[in-house]
Amino acid sequence: MGLISASRREFLRRAGALSAVGAAGGPFAFNLATLGAAAAQTAPTDYKALVCVFLLGGNDSFNTVLATDPDSWSAYNAVRQGPGDAIALLPPGAPGDPAAAPESPARLGGVLALAPQRSAVGRGLALHPMLGTFQSMFNVERRMAIVANVGPLVVPTSKAQYRLARHPRPAKLYSHNDQQSAWQAFAPEGATLGWGGRMADLLLSQNDWGSLFTAVSASGSAVWLAGREVRQYQVSPSGPIRMALDASHRLLGSAEAGAALQRIVTTPHSLNLLQRAYADTSKRSIEAERVLSVALATVEGSPVFGSDADMNYIHPLTGAATRNTLAQQLRIVAKMIAAARGLGVKRQLFFVSFGSFDTHDFQNRTHTDLMARLAHGLRYFDTLLGNLNARDKVTTFTASDFGRTFTSNGDGTDHGWGAHHFVMGGAVQGGDVYGTFPTYGLRNAAGNDFSSPDQVGGNGSLLPSVSVDQYAATLGRWFGLSEQQLLDVLPNLRNFSQRDLGFMRS
C-alpha cells in the first residue's frame, strides 16, 4: 500500500471549518485551504527522514551485542559472572529454564546468533535474547546494521594516547547530561546547536512553511534538533500540543473564550522584548497546531496504522500486554511522515527517547524489559513504514549517553564510554557490522586496567573506535548534505580520514 491519500473535498471541508475561527485565525486560516491539494497526494518522491531513538541513561552494550567466539566468551563470563548477581547471559543455543526467576539470564535462554555478510570474520556475534525481531531484520530482511563501538571523540585515540594528559579528549566523560549533549551537539551541557538542527538548517529550502515541521520531537526538548534557523516543534504521542484549548479550539467549552485567549497570548502589549518574544512563540504554536491538526486529519483512521493494541508489548517479567511508550512516540512520527506532503516537507528529522538505561541496580530485571521495549518499538515502526511504502525514505538510528562498564558492581553496571548502535531502514546496507568490533580482555592483577587495547580503566569501559562525527556524517550524506556541508556541521570530522562508514546506500 502506498503512502496515504485523502479526499481533497474532506480536507478542504475541515480547513474551511477551521477558518471559521475568524480574527483568532487571521490570514493563516486561508493558508490552511491551500494545503488541500498537496495533502490529497502522496508524500514527495524525494522525501527523506532521519529518526533518532535516544536510549536515555546509557545502554549496556556488552549485553546488547556480544562477541561469542571462545576467547571473547571466556573473558565475558569471567568478568560478568560476579561478584554479586551474575549478569552474564547464556551462550547461543542454550535453552531457557521456565522454572528460573523471570529476571534471571537462565530464564531467557541463550543469546541470538548473528550472521554478518562480510564483517567480523572469525568472531561469533549475537544479540540479547529479547532482540529476536532485530535478529530477523539483520540476518534475513537485511534492513538493520550494527555500528560497533561508537562514542564522542575529538581525534582518533589509541589506548596509549588516552593515557596522555595532553591528548585531546571530549570534556566531562561519564556524566549523563554532558554526554547526552556531547552525542547530540558535540559539547557538554549548555550547548545550543545540535547536529540534527544544523543539518536541517542547510536543507531548509526544500521545505515549505519555513522551519515549522522540519525538526520534530515527540519526547520534549532535544538539543539535537536545535539549529540557527530551525526551531524544533514538539508533539505529544497523541498529536499536536494545544495551548489550553480543546480539539475545537474552545476554552472551558466556549469558542468565544478560546478565541479571546488566542488574541491575548499572541498580541504583544508593550515594547518589552520578553513579552514580544512570548507573543511570537504563542502565535507560532497556535498556527502550527492548526496546520498539523488538519494534515493529520487526512491520515487518521487509516487501517495502515493498525489498532491501539499494536502499541502493546509483552512484558518479559509479568507476561502482561503493556503499553510501549516508544511505540506511542513512533506512531505519531509515522503519521507525520504519512502527512508529509500536506505539511509541505521533503526533509524531516525526528527525535524520540525512552529509558532509563542507567542500570546501576537490578541490571537483569531492568535491561531485559528495556530490550523487549526496544525490539517491539522498532519492529512496530518498521511495520508502519512498510505499510506506508516508506522504508526506503526513512532511516532510524539509536544513540545513548554512553555505554557501560564491562565489570559488574554486584547488581548492575556503571558509566562507560563507547557503545554499539543500530541503524534501521530500507536504504541501510543491512546484515553487517560496521567499524571494528572490540576485543574483550581481563583485568590485570592491580585491578586498574584491562588487557584489551579497546578497554580502558579498571572497569573495562570501551574506548570508542568510531566517532559520533563519523556516524553522523554517514547518515548526513544519505540525507543530502555535501562533503563541505558535513565538515561545517560536524566539528571534528576533518580529524578522521574515514568519513563514510558504508552502512548507507547512496
Mean pLDDT of 10-19: 35
Instruction: Inform me whether the pLDDT recorded for 242 exceeds 70.
Output: no
Mean pLDDT of 102-124: 87
- Give the rounded distance of the alpha carbon of 361 from its chain centre: 24
Q: Write the single-letter amino acid at 470.
A: Q
Q: Using CA atoms, how far apart are residues 453 and 438, in angstroms rounded to an integer?
A: 8
Q: Write the single-letter amino acid at 373.
A: R
Contact between residue 245 and residue 21 where contact means Cβ atoms under 8 Å apart:
no
Residue predicted with more confidence, 240 or 359: 359
Predicted confidence band at 287 (pLDDT cuts at 50, 70, 90)? confident
CA-closest candidate to residue 29, choices 10, 13, 11, 16: 16
Q: Which three cell numbers stand for residue 422?
A: 543500530
Q: Using CA atoms, how far apart are residues 381 and 326, in angstroms rounded to an integer?
A: 10
Peptide bond between residue 92 and the one before it cis (omega within 30 degrees of 0): no
Mean pLDDT of 96-118: 93
Q: Cα Rg for the chain, rounded, in angstroms?
A: 24
Residue 399 pairs with which residues in a beta bridge? 54
Residue predicted with more confidence, 74 or 263: 74
Phi, psi torsion values for 79, nearest 5 degrees: -85, -40
Q: Using CA atoms, how far apart are residues 324 and 340, in angstroms rounded to an integer?
A: 25
Long-range contacts of the stretch 472-475 (C-beta < 8 A, 24+): 472/195, 473/499, 473/500, 474/499, 474/500, 474/501, 474/502, 474/503, 474/504, 475/50, 475/395, 475/397, 475/423, 475/504
Contact between residue 124 and residue 92 where contact means Cβ atoms under 8 Å apart:
yes
The torsion angle over the Cα atoms of residues 24, 29, 31 and 37, rounded to 10 degrees, is 160
Instruction: Inform me whether the pLDDT recorded for 120 exceeds 70.
Output: no
Q: Using CA atoms, how far apart are residues 41 and 8, in angstroms rounded to an integer?
A: 9
| Mean pLDDT over each residue of the chain, to the nearest integer | 86
Instruction: Inform me whether the pLDDT recorded for 3 exceeds 70.
Output: no
Angstrom CA distances, 125 to 33, 66, 235, 431, 502, stand at: 54, 6, 38, 12, 20
Mean pLDDT of 227-233: 92
pLDDT at position 477 is 98
Percentage of the chain lying above the pLDDT 70 cut:
81
pLDDT at position 271 is 59
pLDDT at position 393 is 97
Q: Where are the alpha helices (DSSP H) in 91-154?
A: 105-108, 132-139
Contact between residue 338 and residue 389 where contact means Cβ atoms under 8 Å apart:
no
Phi-psi region of 249 (alpha: psi -120 to 50; beta: other; left: phi over 0): left
Q: Using CA atoms, how far apart are residues 33 and 289, in angstroms rounded to an integer?
A: 15
User: What residues contact residue 72 under an 8 Å CB cut-off, 6+ apart?
Assistant: 66, 123, 124, 439, 440
Q: Using CA atoms, how far apart are residues 111 and 92, in angstroms rounded to an integer?
A: 5
Q: Is 384 exposed, middle or buried (0-12, 13-18, 19+ CB in 10 A)?
A: buried
pLDDT at position 342 is 86
Q: Is 445 exposed, middle or buried (0-12, 13-18, 19+ CB in 10 A)?
A: exposed
pLDDT at position 274 is 60
Residue predicted with more confidence, 178 or 21: 178
pLDDT at position 428 is 98
Q: Using CA atoms, how far apart are residues 332 and 303, in angstroms rounded to an integer?
A: 15
List the chain domain ranges.
Answer: 39-258+286-495
Mean pLDDT of 25-54: 55
pLDDT at position 82 is 75
Give all strands (DSSP E) within 296-446, no chain letters: 312-314, 321-323, 347-354, 394-400, 419-424, 433-434
pLDDT at position 2 is 45
Contact between residue 418 and residue 150 where contact means Cβ atoms under 8 Å apart:
yes
pLDDT at position 278 is 52
Q: What is the DSSP letter of 186?
A: S
45-90, pLDDT tens digit by residue?
A: 789 999 999 999 999 999 999 999 999 999 999 999 977 789 999 9
By mean pLDDT, which of 144-158, 192-206, 276-290, 460-474 is the weakest? 276-290
pLDDT at position 4 is 41
pLDDT at position 269 is 58
Instruction: Inform me whether the pLDDT recorded for 38 exceeds 50.
Output: no
157-215, pLDDT tens digit by residue?
A: 999 999 999 999 999 999 999 999 999 999 999 999 999 999 999 999 888 755 689 99
Q: Using CA atoms, how far apart are residues 382 and 41, in angstroms rounded to an integer?
A: 22
Contact between residue 492 and residue 469 where contact means Cβ atoms under 8 Å apart:
yes
